[in-house]
């Protein structure tokens, strides 16, 4: 029987899940998204929309009543509210998994207890704890907000004793944790999936390049040894085995100077570093997510073409309507998210630059340079 899918969040991730759902009418008859922005990206391609805040209890209840199965594209939903509607609709991944993941301290504690490698960390409840933590970890460290932080906005790097008070005050009473700084040689991630029957698959390791804490480029596959890829993919599988619930998860990791892997954080949803799969892989992460939550056999995660994903971010120098972006190269796949207004570093779209025949990542990196200029946003005068 074909199901009605509810998604908390109708931004670009909800939009690309909706696109995948439209290709599976035998399993999904309709998509409804809950999103506060009228005419959100998912609604522009045919999803019905409930306009409300992501944490609005009445709106989530309405979504649950109208849907057979609910998933999410953001991790800031209210896990208690989601738990309270579990009798009305199946929720995947489970609210319990969301509750653990959306609190960085609970997430790291859970991973640590499950013998999955994470950087040294501790809970911070006072400035005294912070001073003690610094004695234990040394400098530098990262003071992090436990919840509701994304794209690095909830982190403060402390490099000297003079910064302690400033860092503590920066968070204004939020719940905090402290983490030892990892002088990593590369940031990487694994997109992993687990279906409702417990089947697990991982995509090959990819390399992520950030700019001001926002993902800029993903290089698939990561330029690391086979050994490192295998180790990271095995850690991702172990992580999926201990987490409850079904779906696609984005598992961000650091490769240390001596080629060890530690997990930075997990996103319980499709992930920006998996957008390359739309063209590079036998199954896109969006289709895989649907297969996982519907309890279907997971698709092949084989990477068929080396690919670079480049995020199109709003120019730092203006906010407002922007000139249309187009690219005509045959091995470049542009996806804009239908956002009318550009804001500094706002994710407006991405493109995948896909290798032809014998092309290597080095070739792609060279070709990328000229494409970057073509996707700079310019204001409409």
- Residues forming contacts to ligand AMP in the complex (CB under 6 A) are 119, 142, 144, 152, 155, 179, 181-182, 187, 210, 213, 264-265
Q: Are 217 and 208 in contact (CB under 8 A)?
A: yes
Q: Are 247 and 268 in contact (CB under 8 A)?
A: yes
Q: Which DSSP symbol is given to 274? A: G
Nearer to ligand AMP, 36 or 140 (CB): 140
Least CB distance to ligand AMP at residue 154 (A): 6
CB of 238 to ligand AMP, least distance (A): 20
Instruction: Name which of 3 and 276 has its Cβ closer to ligand AMP.
Output: 276
The three-state secondary structure class of 299 is coil
Closest separation between CB of residue 210 and ligand AMP, Å? 5
Is there a contact between 105 and 122 (Cβ–Cβ < 8 Å)?
no
For the bound state, the minimum distance from the C-beta of residue 231 to ligand AMP, rounded and expressed in Å, comes to 19
Task: Please name the residue that has the structure tokens 């939009």.
Answer: 15
CA distances from 374 to 40, 252, 310 (A): 25, 29, 12
- Taking the complex as a whole, the smallest distance from the CB of residue 177 to ligand AMP amounts, in Å, to 10
Instruction: Work out how close the CB of 114 gets to ligand AMP at its nearest, in angstroms, rounded to a whole number.
Output: 19
Residues sharing a CB contact under 8 Å with residue 31, sequence separation 6 or more, in sequence order: 4, 5, 6, 7, 17, 18, 21, 22, 42, 46, 47, 48
User: 10 Å Cβ neighbour count for 68?
Assistant: 18
What are the structure tokens assigned to 145, written together?
Answer: 């907000």
Distance (Å, rounded) from C-alpha 40 to C-alpha 35?
A: 7
The residue among 223 and 378 lying less far from ligand AMP, judged by its C-beta, is: 223
* Measured distance CA(75)–CA(11) in Å, rounded: 13
For ligand AMP, give the closer residue by CB, 214 or 376: 214
Apex CA 275: angle with CA 60 and CA 37, to 5°? 35
The smaller minimum CB distance to ligand AMP, of residues 27 and 171, is found at: 171
Tell me the closest approach of the beta carbon of residue 323 to ligand AMP, in angstroms. 30
Residue 329 vs residues 311, 335, 347, 370, 372: alpha-carbon distances, Å: 17, 13, 22, 11, 13
Q: Please report how close the Cβ of residue 73 comes to ligand AMP at its closest, in angstroms.
A: 17
**CB closer to ligand AMP out of 218 and 264:** 264
- Nearest to ligand AMP of 216, 343 (CB atom): 216
Toward ligand AMP, which CB reaches closer, 50 or 255? 255
Nearest Cα neighbor of 260 from 234, 238, 237 is 234
């Amino acid at each position: 029987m074909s199901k009605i899918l509810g998604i908390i969040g109708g931004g670009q991730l909800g939009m690309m899940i909706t696109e995948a759902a439209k290709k599976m009418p035998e399993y999904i008859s309709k998509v409804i998204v809950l999103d506060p922005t009228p005419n959100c990206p998912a609604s522009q391609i045919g999803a019905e929309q409930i306009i409300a805040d992501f944490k609005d209890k009445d709106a989530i209840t309405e979504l649950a009543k109208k849907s057979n199965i609910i998933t999410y594209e953001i991790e800031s939903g209210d896990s208690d509210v989601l738990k309270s509607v579990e009798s009305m609709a199946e929720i995947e991944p489970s609210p319990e998994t969301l509750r653990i993941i959306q609190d960085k301290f609970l997430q790291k504690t859970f991973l640590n207890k499950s013998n999955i490698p994470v950087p040294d960390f501790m809970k911070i409840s006072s400035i005294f704890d912070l001073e003690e933590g610094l004695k234990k970890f040394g400098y530098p460290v990262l003071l992090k907000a436990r919840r509701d932080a994304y794209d690095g906005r909830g982190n403060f790097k402390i490099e000297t004793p003079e910064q302690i008070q400033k860092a503590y005050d920066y968070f204004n009473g939020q719940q905090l944790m402290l983490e030892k700084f990892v002088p990593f040689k590369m940031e990487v991630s694994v997109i992993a999936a687990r279906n409702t029957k417990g089947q697990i698959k991982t995509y090959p390791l990819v390399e992520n390049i950030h700019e001001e804490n926002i993902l800029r480029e993903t290089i698939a596959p990561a330029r690391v040894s086979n050994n490192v890829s295998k180790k990271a993919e095995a850690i991702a599988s172990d992580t999926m085995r201990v987490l409850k619930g079904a779906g696609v998860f984005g598992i961000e990791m650091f490769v240390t100077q001596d080629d060890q892997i530690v997990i930075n954080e997990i996103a319980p949803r499709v992930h920006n570093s998996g957008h390359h799969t739309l063209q590079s892989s036998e199954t896109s992460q969006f289709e895989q997510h649907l297969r996982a939550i519907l309890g279907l056999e997971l698709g092949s995660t084989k990477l068929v073409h080396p690919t670079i994903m480049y995020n199109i971010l709003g120019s730092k120098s203006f906010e407002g309507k922007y000139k249309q972006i187009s690219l005509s190269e045959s091995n470049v796949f542009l996806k804009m998210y239908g956002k009318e207004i550009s804001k500094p570093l706002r994710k407006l779209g991405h493109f995948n630059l896909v290798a032809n025949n014998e092309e290597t990542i080095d070739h792609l990196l060279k070709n990328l340079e000229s494409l970057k200029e073509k996707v700079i946003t310019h204001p409409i005068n």
